Chains A and B, each alone.
Chain A
Amino acid sequence: SQTIHQWPATLVQPVGSPLSLECTVEGTSNPNLYWYRQAAGRGLQLLFYSVGIGQISSEVPQNLSASRPQDRQFILSSKKLLLSDSGFYLCALSTGNYQPQHFGDGTRLSIL
């Protein structure tokens, strides 16, 4: 079965600091991978998606970036965090067309 690993579970960072969140998956090959952010009390906003190694599509212009260096690894980064980057960051995978997305446990990021 498919497994999504996200770490850390919680993170507190100062404004202006860099960020690197990693998502790794097991149990499947060549998945579509997605990064979402959920602000407090809000719905999920799609940030990036990837259909293969090195292929990144951005949904929302911002100070975040994503990379997919390996088939089962998806990384979300920032060079300088803003207060508005606070939220619940979720990695998701899908195994193909019309297949549902399944989510990791997420990282709760607080910016001070």
Chain B
Amino acid sequence: QKEVEQNSGPLSVPEGAIASLNCTYSDRGSQSFFWYRQYSGKSPELIMFIYSNGDKEDGRFTAQLNKASQYVSLLIRDSQPSDSATYLCAPQSGSARQLTFGSGTQLTVLP
């Protein structure tokens, strides 16, 4: 059974700080990795995706992937109160490129 573990929350950081979100996964066949943000009562929205080992930066967001360690992370620099949400990690695998979601980490950015 595919498992995805995310660091337990809730996580609180002050405005302007770096938020670090971690995720480990069990399926070594996972090829792509996605981070979604979900505001309370809303559907998930894609933030970033990463395919290759290393870092990928997009604005204030940096995704890091280490396939050997089966570990993926998301860093949010200069955190803003609008970043307060639940962040979902989702490795992708299978013939239909199914996603397996972690239970999410709730982030609160304090003004």
Contact = CB atoms under 8 A, between A and B. Distances in A.
Q: Say what secondary structure dominates the interface of chain A.
A: strand
Interface string B8-44: 0000000000000000000000011010000000111
A74 interface: no
Contacts of A50: 96
A26 interface: no
Contacts, number: 54
A57 interface: yes
B78 interface: no
Contacts of B45: 103
Interface in A74-94: 90, 94
Determine which residue in A42, A98, A104, A105 has the highest number of CB atoms from chain B within 10 A of its CB, and name it.
A98
Chain B, interface size category, equals 20 to 34
A59 B98 contact: yes
Contact of A57 (B34, B43, B96): B96
B104 interface: yes
B97 A104 contact: no
A49 B96 contact: yes
A46 interface: yes
A103 B98 contact: no
Residue of B42, B44, B95 with most chain A CB atoms under a 10 A cut-off: B44
Contact of B51 (A34, A51, A98, A106): A98
Given A43-B101, A43-B102, A51-B96, A105 B43 contact: yes
A102 B92 CA distance: 13
Interface string B69-111: 0000000000000000000101010011111111110000000
23 contacts: A32-B96, A34-B98, A34-B99, A43-B4, A43-B102, A44-B44, A44-B88, A46-B100, A46-B101, A49-B96, A51-B96, A59-B98, A94-B97, A97-B97, A98-B32, A98-B97, A100-B34, A100-B46, A102-B46, A105-B42, A105-B43, A106-B42, A106-B43
